[in-house]
Chains A and B, each alone.
Chain A
Amino acid sequence: MTEPVSYSSIVLTEITRSFRKNGIKACDNISFSVKNGEILAIMGENGAGKSTLMHILSGFMKADRGSLVFPADPDQNHPSVGMIHQKPILAGNLNVWENIALGHPQKSLVVKPAELSSSIRRIQENYGLALDLSMKGWELTAAQIQRAELLECLLLDRKILIFDEPTASLSEQQAEELLLLLKRLKGEGRTILYITHKIKEAYHLADRIAVLRKGKLKMISPVGEISPEAVSEAMIGKGAEIPDMIRKAERKTFSEAVPVLELKNINYSHQGSIRLKDLSLQLHAGEILGIAGIRENGLACLEDLITGAVRPQSGKILLKGKMIPYLTPFRFRKHGISYIPADRLKRGASLDSTLGENLILLKRKLEGNAGSYKTKLIQWAKKLISKGEIEGQAEQKVRTLSGGNIQKMILVREMHEAPALLIISEPSWGLDFSSREKLHYQISNARSRDAAVLLLTTDIDEILILSDRIAVLTGGELSETAPAGQDWNRKTIGERMTGADRL
């Protein structure tokens, strides 16, 4: 981190940015510099601050504190930074050349389509980026959108390129082509920042690797001087102790009866890229099956599949031994499955309804016959509010609650009827330590009541603390399921998650 400034293309000093909503520091005092013409892989888990940092670099966001210098660029105004986004940003109703033209420096008001397309074509031929320029934005696949964004950056001759998990939406073949192209761009003296979850890619491509965790820069080091295991540990952190409360809760061996939920050879692909590959699992009553993984690497997709948000192309889903052609959210609820989603605000709560209304979402009928519907609702809500230790009033809008309280609300709503099957995704995101412990206690209690619990999480500690059996999902493929302690520990799970074990 002490190389002379003149050789650097970006110098970051003490960049800090926190979010107004929750005060969490997405970037905390980050300092490093990027050399001219190098590929720097930026790694980290979800919410590690990678995207925020890149948004600051590309000028989309401002840092609260700290300085950002582009020594090679006299204007200092982020003009030499081009970003290839993970989520497509382009206008669906405009065709490709119009989308590219949008970012073009405007010397005149009038667009000259012929001139522009011929200069785009020249770049296409030069770099082998085939793409029909007259296609509309909405017709493009994720890979084609990426190509369009890359063409725009190259047309503008960006010297610094940021790629945000570019291979996540690509097939293997496409990914290899892209990595080759990146090496060529580097050869031209461009600086490349490459965000990825995949250690293999980082080692294959990058000169140096930087790891972010919880908004802090954990390490930055040349690829040759660090082992994949060390990178994986820097990403995931050291282990935590298993709290006594949960250790005391009895871990039973589950019965070998019919599994509550069974997936058989599920295949799911989206826009040509495979998201889940030949996935099978069995979940029994009275056990917690933990599936560790990275959300973009198949975990989010598995959540969607099990809750009926997407349909698999092939494979079987069985509930208590009964075949279900495919799940829909309605069928899913009809079978009495409880679901605690990772995206609580969008899937778990109706923000503009009151706390009471949210708590009653799963119930059709209210007990008791005295009083109006509203008084019954408030009575019911009060019971659950105290049971769930939610800090809020029955008639308060959910939007005004804190994230932790919204999670408590979802928990008490989903768990209070003692469901037979519970699907939980990223339950402790944004929770403080003590709420997290209480939550873990509740989940292990559900197991003691003979519920089948499927836990999907990126948090390895959580998996180890709670799960009876563990499997790891990487690149859409599920590993063998094994009890915790046998094959799975912090190191093996972490390496499997990030793909470090396949180097």
Chain B
Amino acid sequence: MISGILNNAAPLLLAAMGGLFTELAGVLNIAMEGMILTGAFTAILVSNFGGGLLTSTLCAALAGLLTAWVFSLTSFKLRGNIFITGLGINILMPALTASFSQKIFGNQGIIHPGSLRHIPSTAGLDLYTWGTLACTGAVMFILYRTYPGLTLRASGRQKDLLKSKGISPEKVQTAAVLISGMMCGISGAILSLRLGAYVPGMSAGKGWIALVAIYLGYKKIPGIVAACIFFTAAEAIANQAQGILQIPPSLILSFPYFFTLMGLGLFAILKKRRQ
């Protein structure tokens, strides 16, 4: 049960870690949803043409990076409104994957490659979960014990601060967006490679929920981990409850999102208390 929740929390946590980078840099990264979906599609595409687990995951990371690059280019270089460009990415990526899917597989629905790779696992957690946990530790180290990490944490609000130290805030922001793109790409790969298929819209709001988890965890890693586990547990309960309770399944399936909303409300209350 616990290992199951941890496994399911891995893609969300990985995306949240990526989002933490952008959040600390003062960028509202709402394009994560699109980045995750791109990763998911790319991973299946590559494994369909014979790519192994590692190759598929790396290609997904690359695809995420590319999406993030487009996002940062339009937002910083071309000075687009970050909300609009982010939404643009989220609308563009599903459409783009659908047209690629049509061209390559002849349909826009579920893509199910013939050969499925087995994902190795130990102690109930698979390779990706272990990788995500290791990555979480690494992010913690990078943010709190390296100079680039300090710079990133300092960069969010005070642009003059970085300028006075001779650092370009724009470069820090671009780097943060690219890193988040890579991590979201891998997060998508975990989703699709575990399922062994690509389903349109399979990111299912993970990019948004990751953003909520970041806020709910006060932008601190232990808090974010707890928030991700909380949301995943809520999802698991919703799935279980479908069979037991006499509530319309569509209502039960909205539980995680309902919990997200409650989480946001809780965050607002906690913040007010703190002040």
Contacts and interface: CB of A to CB of B under 8 A. Distances in A.
Interface string B56-86: 0000000000000000000000000000000
Contacts of A111: 144-147, 149-150
B160 to A, nearest CB: 5
A111 B144 CA distance: 8
Contacts of B155: 91
- Dominant secondary structure of chain B at its interface with chain A: helix
B166 interface: yes
A113 B155 CA distance: 20
A102 B148 contact: no
A59 B155 CA distance: 19
Interface string B140-181: 000011111111011111101101111000000000000000
Given A89-B158, A89-B164, A113 B145 contact: yes
B145 A94 contact: no
B150 A109 contact: no
Contacts of A94: 150, 153-154
A98 B150 contact: yes
A102 B151 contact: yes
A106 B167 CA distance: 13
A91 B150 CA distance: 10
Contact of B157 (A92, A99, A103): A92
A99 B154 contact: yes
A53 to B, nearest CB: 16
A111 B142 CA distance: 9
Interface in A107-158: 109-111, 113
B46 to A, nearest CB: 32
Given A91-B154, A94-B154, A106 B147 contact: yes
B23 to A, nearest CB: 12
Given A101-B147, A102-B150, A109-B146, A93 B156 contact: yes
Nearest to B148: A109
A394 to B, nearest CB: 27
A340 interface: no
Nearest to B151: A102
Contact of A90 (B145, B153, B161, B163): B161
Nearest to B146: A109
Nearest to A58: B164
A104 B165 CA distance: 9
Contacts of A101: 147, 150
A94 B162 CA distance: 13
B14 to A, nearest CB: 23
Interface in A53-105: 58-60, 83, 85, 89-94, 98-99, 101-104
Interface residues of B, number: 20
A83 B164 contact: yes
Nearest to B145: A111
B163 A60 contact: yes
Contacts of B165: 102-103
A102 B154 contact: yes
A325 B158 CA distance: 36
B81 to A, nearest CB: 14
Nearest to B166: A59
Contacts of B160: 89
A113 B150 CA distance: 12
A115 to B, nearest CB: 12
Contacts of B156: 91, 93
Contacts of B149: 111
Nearest to B147: A106
Nearest to A92: B157
Interface in B100-153: 144-151, 153
A18 to B, nearest CB: 20
B147 A109 contact: yes
Contacts of B163: 60
B105 to A, nearest CB: 44
A110 B166 contact: no
A83 B157 CA distance: 20
A90 B155 CA distance: 10
A89 B163 CA distance: 10
A199 B235 CA distance: 69
A91 B164 contact: no
B158 A110 contact: no
Nearest to B24: A93
A186 to B, nearest CB: 24
A145 to B, nearest CB: 12
Contacts of A58: 164
Contacts of B150: 94, 98, 101-102, 111
Contacts of A83: 164
Contacts of B147: 101-102, 104, 106, 109-111
Q: Which has the most chain B C-beta neighbours within 10 Å: A92, A93, A102, A104?
A: A102
Interface in A14-40: none
Interface string B240-263: 000000000000000000000000
A93 B146 contact: no
Contacts of A93: 153-154, 156
12 contacts: A58-B164, A83-B164, A91-B156, A91-B161, A92-B157, A98-B153, A102-B147, A106-B147, A109-B148, A110-B146, A111-B145, A111-B146
Interface of B: 144-151, 153-158, 160-161, 163-166
Given A99-B154, A110-B147, 7 more contacts: A58-B164, A60-B163, A89-B164, A90-B161, A98-B153, A101-B147, A101-B150
Closest 9 CB pairs of A and B: A91-B154, A106-B147, A109-B146, A89-B161, A111-B145, A103-B165, A110-B146, A89-B160, A98-B150
